A = this chain, B = another copy of it.
Amino acid sequence: MTLAARADAATRHARDDGRVPTPDSAALRAHTAIRAAILDGTHRPGEMLSENELAQALGMSRTPVRSALTRLQDEGWITIYPKRGALVRALSDREIAELADARLILEAMGVQRASAEVRRALADRLEPQLDAQRRALLARDLDGFVTLTIAFHRSFVEAAGNAVLAEIADRLTDRQRLLLSAHRETLFERVEETVAEHRSLIERLRADDPAGFAAALRGHLMDTHGPELGPV
């Protein structure tokens, strides 16, 4: 039986290195390219994506483009209307608020679940990153700052030690990149405030005060993403 043998081999391989070795397939390139184009504003919400145009622009056939589009739909970036096309989704105010709220829940819960030791270790690990964040902001290096702040916030979820939760948080964060890009000016204007808010989060960790952490986090998210969050 050939299939069984192959299954064994694949299972073994999966055990060896837990990740797919990245084949750099055309479908993946299409996925990252289109996603990047949405993120940097090349394709704006409400725009209709044509498989043909994308395929031509990317120098490949429609097949991998289609594959990428379905994935992008599953990830919430676009909506595919059968036989009509793919529409770049706009995040409604409500959805923005819900995203931020969901992240708030996951991060606060991550910290709450962690032990006092983990919390303190986390604080020690995060504090040195604050300077890098400030530098990125001052240099108006948006991509750099986004990377840093995403890792920063991800740490809180990771503290719970639950990979499933971390994966969920990643998906949410991904959609939120859009927001960070949109609020770039606000970010650059509020350098010290942002860093100070991050610092106060760390302080709540040190003080072993999960409730205070959650409250501070709520304030931080509202300050960053604006008052449109509203009472969720």
Contact = CB atoms under 8 A, between A and B. Distances in A.
A14 B48 CA distance: 13
Contacts of A95: 163-164
Contacts of A71: 70, 74
A40 interface: no
A102 B48 contact: no
Interface in A77-102: 79-85, 87, 94-95, 98-99, 101-102
23 contacts: A3-B47, A3-B48, A3-B50, A6-B84, A7-B46, A7-B47, A8-B46, A10-B79, A10-B85, A11-B46, A13-B81, A14-B79, A14-B87, A20-B81, A67-B67, A70-B71, A74-B74, A94-B163, A95-B163, A101-B164, A102-B165, A109-B109, A161-B232
A168 interface: yes
A99 B75 CA distance: 20
A100 B13 CA distance: 27
Copies in the complex: 2
B162 A101 contact: yes
A82 B25 contact: yes
A62 to B, nearest CB: 11
